[in-house]
Each structure stands twice: as structure tokens, then as C-alpha cells.
């Protein structure tokens, strides 16, 4: 038997996210050793189930490595982590309750890591067709189905804004529609994800230094896929749809141009003033398609604006929508999950900045200020009146992909938005049971 050793990790408090961070830091230290087994307590006499979930999430999120393109892999020698329940003596914690907490946390964290892997994949490997193939692998989960529609379908549906963005790419577009449909579903939740597998900026070409990391412009697509994966694996009582507009935004003789006027699926016309404001064009058509499903909750997720990063910082998701109650509930779920988010208010005066003299609207604002909000207000043009109070727009441009490690997130993709939405669903299930 080998010598037993103790590793101490500082923890600012016993709040759930501090526990996640401590678990991740411990794992990072252990990766550099030959340790194969670890035992740890729950560090709680009040809500050990929450601490167990936080520990498990911290370990799994912290264990993620992206070494697909490395010729030399460096696997950890750690094999087993045991969570000991002896320090929960003042609380009646059954093994069954602890096991449920462990399972839920494992599913949520693994779904997040699933999103990370998709986002980190290169644009050469993760084309729109490859993204659709990845979505189809989720049909191995009970009650999950997947439909993939091509450019012929997009033309039939009048999704001309989406098609315009794709025109200069050699890779054809795909509209991906994943469905999780359990028996006796309580609500219908529809998620729409921006799936730009690469964004060069189009003819409004990005500077070269800003083009690096644009493989991450599919982070919204990866998130909605991962949310459905997590919810279906947890067997949550919701009918869930994940709608993804998958395409590249490239340059070429057939590229769409500034000054073009596009007709979206709902018949509204859009003056193109910047081809690098392409994500909102794809989302506009996808949101029109999504609303035909009659959602009880409609959420779009996108790395939409650099302006959101300016407003809230690199690590924080911007939450926008018309319903204060809905925004607050997502903010609360975000905090519980450990994700950072902030609410950005819609402003009727900013909406005027999207006016066009030749079409119903412009795809960019006439002002450099408030860009995250004007992007959300652009999307609002494609939300029907009946769905406005059911809709949330999540701009994940800040936290989706960071070129430095932070917290329990590695260099690269963080799986932004996955945990907060799964926590929102789990919390909503509890509210429904009360």
C-alpha cells in the first residue's frame, strides 16, 4: 500500500461555485502527480447534495482536455475520486440522494464538455454537414430525433437571409432540428443556436487578428445541442427542440454584399450594411421557423456581438428580452450554475437606429454604441407578438471562447450557456412540483 498524502486547496467560502473552483484546482494539481485515487468530504452540514453536485461538476469540468490535434497526449494517471459522506452526520443524507446528485451533476458537466469539444473543433473538420452529423449522434438517447434540411428546403421556406450568408461558401448550409419528446411533457421549450462554423466577416472582411478564434462562432449551436443532450439524458419532463442554422460566412464572387436587400422568412426586408453582422441574419430566419412550433419558452443563443464583451466583460453572458420575470429567472439559474450573466435592457430609442431608407430595417445600427442591445432589437423584429414575453436572447460572445484559462475553464471553449439553461429547467421542474 502506498503512502497516504493530503492535498490542501484554499477556498474563499463554501458557496457552490467556490466548491467547483476548489475541486478544479485540486484536480489541476493532481494531474501533475502519479496519484491514482483520491478521497474527499462534502464540506457541508446543511445542503450536502448541493456540495456533491458542485464537487462533481468542478472535477468533470476541470478534467476536460482538448488534445485532438496534439501528436503527444498526456493523460492523467488519476483513476478514482471518492466522495465521503461521513462529514454529513448532522444531516439525513441517504446514499440514494447522494447518488442522484452525483448523476445529475455528471450529466450537466458532461453536456458542457460535449459543447466544448464541438466549439474547439477546427472549421476544416466541423463544417455544417459535420455539425449535422454530430447532431444526429444524439438520436442514440431515448426520445431524441433529428431532422436535417438542406438548401432546397431553405429556398422553399423563403429563408433568404440565411441563404445569403452561405452563398460564398463551398460548404452547403444545413438547418438542423433536434427534438426530445418525452411522454406527458409539461412545456415546449425551443432553443435556436447560431451555427457559424466559420466567420471570415464576408466582404466586410475581419482583420486577420480578429479572424483567429472564429471557429467559436458555432458556440450557440453547440450549446443548444448540449442543452438538449443534457435534458434528454436527465429525462426532464419537457418537449425540447434545438434549431441550428449551420453555415460559413466566406468571401467570393458570389458573396452577398453591403447594399443588398434580403427578404427574410417572415417577409420583412433587410438592408445589408455590413456582411459581418451575419449571425443575426441566420437567426432571423431560424427564429421564424422555431416559432411555428408554438413554444412556451423561446431562447436564442449566439456569439453575436463584440459589443456585449465590451459591456459585460469576457466572462459574462448578456441576457435580453421583454419579460423581466423571465430574465430574472434565467439570471438566478445562471448564478446557481456558476455561470456569470448580466441583464441588458431593451431601449425603444435604440431601435430607431436600425431604420433603413430602402428596406424595413438595416442589419446594423447607425451608432457604435449599444451594439449588443441593437442586435437583440434587430432579432425582436422577427419575434411574433404572441411570443415576445416567452423569448430570451442570450449573447454568449464574452464567455464562449477565451484564449486563457479561467476558473475551471480551460483555454478555448467553455460551453457557455449550457449549465445555466439546464439549471433553469431543473429549477422550473421543482417550481412546478410545489
In this structure, the strands spanning 238-249 and 174-180 are: antiparallel
Q: Rounded to whole angstroms, what are the CA distances from 383 to 117, 128, 238, 319, 364?
A: 31, 25, 22, 16, 18
Rounded to a whole number of angstroms, the CA Rg of the chain reads: 22
Q: Rounded to whole angstroms, what are the CA distances from 233 to 105, 111, 143, 146, 420?
A: 12, 9, 10, 16, 16
430: annotated active-site residue: no
Q: Which three cell numbers stand for residue 52?
A: 456533491
User: What is the CA angle 327-244-192, rounded to 5?
Assistant: 15
Residues facing 248 on adjacent strands = 198
Distance between CA 418 and CA 227 in Å, rounded?
5
Give the active site residue among 194, 229, 280, 390: 280
Give the active site residue among 186, 187, 206, 268: 206
- The residue with cell 422577427 is 382
- The residue with cell 491514482 is 36
Helix, strand or coil, per DSSP, at residue 234: coil
8 A C-beta contact, residue 304 and residue 375: yes
DSSP secondary structure letters along 344-411: ----HHHHGGG--SSSSEESS-SSSSSHHHHHHHHHHTTS-GGGGGGEEEEE-TTTSEESS-BTTB-S
73: annotated active-site residue: no
Q: Hey, which residues are catalytic here?
A: 206, 280
Amino acid at each position: 500500500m502506498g503512502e497516504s498524502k493530503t492535498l490542501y486547496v484554499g477556498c474563499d467560502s463554501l458557496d457552490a461555485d467556490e466548491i467547483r473552483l476548489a475541486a478544479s484546482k485540486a484536480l489541476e494539481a493532481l494531474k501533475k502527480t502519479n496519484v491514482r485515487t483520491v478521497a474527499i468530504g462534502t464540506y457541508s452540514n446543511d445542503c450536502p447534495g448541493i456540495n456533491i453536485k458542485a464537487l462533481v461538476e468542478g472535477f468533470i469540468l476541470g478534467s476536460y482536455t482538448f488534445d485532438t490535434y496534439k501528436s503527444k497526449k498526456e493523460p492523467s494517471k488519476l483513476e478514482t475520486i471518492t466522495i465521503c459522506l461521513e462529514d454529513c452526520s448532522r444531516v439525513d443524507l441517504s446514499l440514494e440522494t447522494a447518488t442522484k446528485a452525483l448523476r445529475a451533476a455528471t450529466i450537466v458537466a458532461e453536456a458542457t464538455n460535449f459543447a466544448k469539444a464541438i466549439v474547439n473543433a477546427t472549421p476544416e473538420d466541423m463544417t455544417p454537414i459535420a455539425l449535422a452529423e454530430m447532431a444526429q449522434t444524439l438520436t442514440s438517447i431515448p426520445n431524441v430525433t433529428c431532422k436535417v434540411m438542406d438548401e432546397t428546403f431553405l429556398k422553399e421556406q423563403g429563408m433568404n437571409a440565411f441563404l445569403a450568408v452561405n452563398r460564398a461558401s463551398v460548404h452547403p448550409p444545413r438547418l438542423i432540428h433536434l427534438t426530445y419528446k418525452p411522454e406527458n411533457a409539461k412545456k415546449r421549450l425551443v432553443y435556436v443556436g447560431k451555427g457559424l462554423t466559420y466567420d471570415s466577416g464576408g466582404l466586410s472582411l475581419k482583420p486577420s487578428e480578429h479572424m483567429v478564434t472564429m471557429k467559436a462562432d458555432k458556440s450557440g449551436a453547440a450549446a443548444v445541442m448540449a442543452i438538449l443532450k443534457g435534458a434528454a439524458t436527465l429525462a426532464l419532463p419537457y418537449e425540447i427542440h434545438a434549431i441550428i442554422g449551420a453555415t460559413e460566412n466566406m468571401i467570393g464572387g458570389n458573396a452577398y454584399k453591403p447594399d443588398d436587400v434580403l427578404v427574410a422568412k417572415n417577409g420583412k426586408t433587410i438592408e445589408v450594411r455590413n456582411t459581418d453582422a451575419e449571425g443575426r441574419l441566420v437567426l432571423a430566419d431560424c427564429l421564424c421557423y422555431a416559432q411555428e412550433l408554438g413554444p412556451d419558452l423561446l431562447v436564442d443563443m449566439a456569439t453575436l456581438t463584440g459589443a456585449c464583451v465590451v459591456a459585460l466583460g469576457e466572462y459574462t453572458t448578456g441576457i435580453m428580452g421583454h419579460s423581466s420575470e423571465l430574465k430574472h429567472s434565467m439570471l438566478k439559474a445562471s448564478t446557481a450554475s456558476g455561470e456569470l450573466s448580466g441583464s441588458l435592457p431593451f431601449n425603444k430609442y435604440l431601435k430607431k437606429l436600425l431604420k433603413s431608407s430602402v428596406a424595413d430595417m438595416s442589419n446594423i445600427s447607425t451608432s457604435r454604441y449599444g451594439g449588443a442591445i441593437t442586435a437583440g432589437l434587430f432579432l425582436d423584429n422577427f419575434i411574433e407578438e404572441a411570443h415576445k414575453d416567452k423569448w430570451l436572447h442570450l449573447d454568449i460572445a464574452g464567455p464562449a471562447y477565451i484564449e486563457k484559462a479561467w476558473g475551471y475553464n480551460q483555454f478555448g471553449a467553455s460551453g457557455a450557456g449550457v449549465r445555466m439553461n439546464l439549471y433553469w429547467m431543473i429549477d422550473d421542474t421543482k417550481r412546478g412540483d410545489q
